[in-house]
Amino acid sequence: MIDDRTNNFNESDTALVQKLCDRRFGIGADGLILLRLHSKADFEMVYFNADGNPSTMCGNGGRCTVSFAHRLGLFEQETNFMAIDGIHEASIQNDIVTLQMQDVAEVKQAKDHYFLDTGSPHYVALVENIEAFDVYNKGKQIRYSHAFSTIEGTNVNFVEKISSQEIKVRTYERGVEDETFSCGTGVTACALALSLDDSKSPVRIQTKGGLLEVGWKKLGNTYTDIYLKGSAKHVFTGEVEV
């Protein structure tokens, strides 16, 4: 997470982003975020995957950027910011960030999975005994399958249902090319997809990275007023020579 309000970071330097995200020779991260000023919003989030490439919307990255901007004094409690998929409204209270997500027009239902776009494309499949599930290999297989080649692959989510308002989720993220501990757009996709079963808003989501909540309203096939809510805590501040 970099304070780049002076626009000093070279966003075309893919190798630098890769180096900073490297867990052995850099800082170590699933992605890199630049916080910049923006003419039409309080600030802008510019997000890169660990492979160094710009990515689609990152939900948890958005919540962390909101927390970061709050620490920098850019707003008090409510804010709005620009992301790759447009402007998002957000608020923070006692480290809990609530992020408004973009409307979702459709959830496609296949025989063994759901597919939808919550700012990033997501494949959602129900599984049993999720703790023992081979997320890496199965997720990688689906992510690189021919079915999703036209959209440069998809993120892959595996869900175990606990109740109509609680689920467990594990996600293989493209760009990171591994399982991540928590994916904001992914858990949002899972909650909306399972509403075609009997899930009811809001849904509590257990991930390896912590607890999240997703709420929504539904008008016909369109999901509106979607929010992603959870904790975003400051871990450390440091300096690195580049």
Residue 106 neighbours by CB under 8 Å, 6+ apart: 116, 221, 222
CATH topology classification for 2-94:
Diaminopimelate Epimerase; Chain A, domain 1 (3.10.310)
pLDDT digits 0-9 by tens, 161-185 = 999 999 999 999 999 999 999 999 9
What residue spans define the domains of the chain? 2-94, 108-231
112-148 residues labelled b (16+ CB within 10 A) or e (exposed): ebbbbbbbbbbbbbbbeebeebebeeebbebbeeeeb
Instruction: Check residue 180 and give its pLDDT.
Output: 96
Grade residue 242 by pLDDT with cuts at 50, 70 and 90: confident
Instruction: Judge whether 2-94 and 108-231 match in fold.
Output: yes
**pLDDT, average across residues 28-52:** 96
Residue 10: how many CB atoms within 10 A of its CB? 10
Residues catalogued as catalytic: 58, 183
Strand partners, 121: 117
- pTM for this model (two decimals): 0.94
pLDDT digits 0-9 by tens, 7-30 = 999 999 999 999 999 999 999 999
Grade residue 221 by pLDDT with cuts at 50, 70 and 90: confident
Class of the CATH domain delimited by 108-231 = alpha beta
Tokens (6 digits) for 86: 């447009």
